[in-house]
Chains A and B, each alone.
Chain A
Amino acid sequence: QQPVQSPQAVILREGEDAVINCSSSKALYSVHWYRQKHGEAPVFLMILLKGGEQKGHDKISASFNEKKQQSSLYLTASQLSYSGTYFCGTDTGNQFYFGTGTSLTVIP
């Protein structure tokens, strides 16, 4: 039931773009995205509700394909501060699960 994220890890140079994917085997009510720095609490980035919406703020955006039960997080023109582990969270209405995580490292 845990959603699967890909890739598991990615290394970017500053200014490059990245896409992180999240795939669930269950029908979803919503998808969340969080970023966690080492030793710190996950920080909420955004939530996407069913209806196939797309959201974004600044250079981080996400899409949610309800039919495919997939979500993607798009990071454009990456900054050093984007480094961390990104988790999707999937809400089936009854259960909430964090994804397997994607470690993202931005280097100068």
Chain B
Amino acid sequence: AAGVIQSPRHLIKEKRETATLKCYPIPRHDTVYWYQQGPGQDPQFLISFYEKMQSDKGSIPDRFSAQQFSDYHSELNMSSLELGDSALYFCASSSTVRRHGYTFGSGTRLTVV
């Protein structure tokens, strides 16, 4: 079965650089979520999209932005990167908003040096 695809798997950036993370949800899933998970931390909700419109916003810094495109893939854009942005970034998708659980992608490990 198709899963949630994230790219890249690993990313190393320097401080103040920009990064773009991509997420391809499971086909026919209408909702995409982004989470940030620091070492030893629980996943922190960043932002979600339902049918290509932003549906919910969590603890996403102003330096970050995200969008969902017509093909339902989503991108998380991160600018002016800081050392504290180093984390695992997960994308998840679900159908019928949160009723059937989320399927997570394998994540992108971002390291800011």
Taking Cβ atoms with an 8 Å cutoff, the residues of A that contact B are: 2, 30, 32, 34, 39-44, 46-47, 49, 87, 89, 91, 94-101
Contacts and interface: CB of A to CB of B under 8 A. Distances in A.
Contacts of B33: 96
7 contacts: A30-B99, A39-B88, A41-B90, A44-B104, A96-B33, A96-B45, A98-B45
Nearest to A93: B98
B43 A30 contact: no
A89 B101 CA distance: 9
Given A40-B106, A44-B101, 13 more contacts: A2-B42, A30-B98, A32-B102, A41-B90, A41-B105, A42-B102, A46-B101, A47-B100, A47-B101, A94-B56, A98-B35, A98-B42, A101-B42
Interface of B: 33, 35, 42-45, 56, 88, 90, 98-107
Contact of A44 (B45, B56, B103): B103
Contacts of B35: 98
A91 B98 CA distance: 8
B95 to A, nearest CB: 12
Contacts of A32: 101-102
A46 B105 CA distance: 17
Contacts of A99: 42
